[in-house]
Amino acid sequence: MLVCGIEVVIPTEVEIPSLRIIQEAELDNSEWVKSRYEQLALIDGKRMNAVCHGQLYQNRMARAFIKRVKPRQFAPGQLVLKKIFRHQDEAKGKFSPNWQGPYMVHRVLTGGALTLAEMNGKAWPKPINSDEVKRYYV
């Protein structure tokens, strides 16, 4: 009971009436069953509507992201600098350089991966993501 002397009604009971709310509203059983069946029939439509809105939102966000992406094309023989990651030994603090190299692009793989080679021609066995390198201009 509330302070005012009225019994508590949860907001979900207003949307989907419980037996107590039906008795207070003085609905008979047939009307209650009919309204409950109509509400259950609407659930699938609401669910499909929510799925469609979610997909539309994801498509809008993907288009906005792809609009800002600048594709980078690399060709074998180009010179690049490789980013120094924080877990590498070369990263020794705040004032250490962020890039190392230059390296030569040995092969361009699918999906934006590159195989780098040192300047003497020795190729690295592991490919690297093209996001982690940048062009080196002489």
Q: In the predicted model, what is the mean pLDDT of the chain?
A: 82
* Angle value at C-alpha 100, between 99 and 106, nearest 5 degrees: 115
Is the torsion defined by CA of 72, 78, 84, 85 positive or negative?
A: positive
And the tokens for 67? 């609009």
CA distance 64 to 78: 31
pLDDT digit string (tens) for 61-83? 999 998 988 778 899 999 999 99
Q: Is the peptide bond between 102 and the residue preceding it cis, with omega within 30 degrees of 0?
A: yes
- Structure confidence at residue 2 (pLDDT): 45
Supply the pLDDT for residue 16. Answer: 67
- The answer to whether 78 and 134 have CB atoms below 8 angstroms apart is no
Eight-class DSSP state of 130: G
Q: 81 near 101, Cβ under 8 Å?
A: yes
* pLDDT tens-place string over residues 90-132: 667 788 888 998 999 999 998 889 999 999 989 989 999 988 9
3-class DSSP state of 118: coil
Tell me the CB-side half-sphere exposure of residue 82, using CA atoms within 13 A.
22
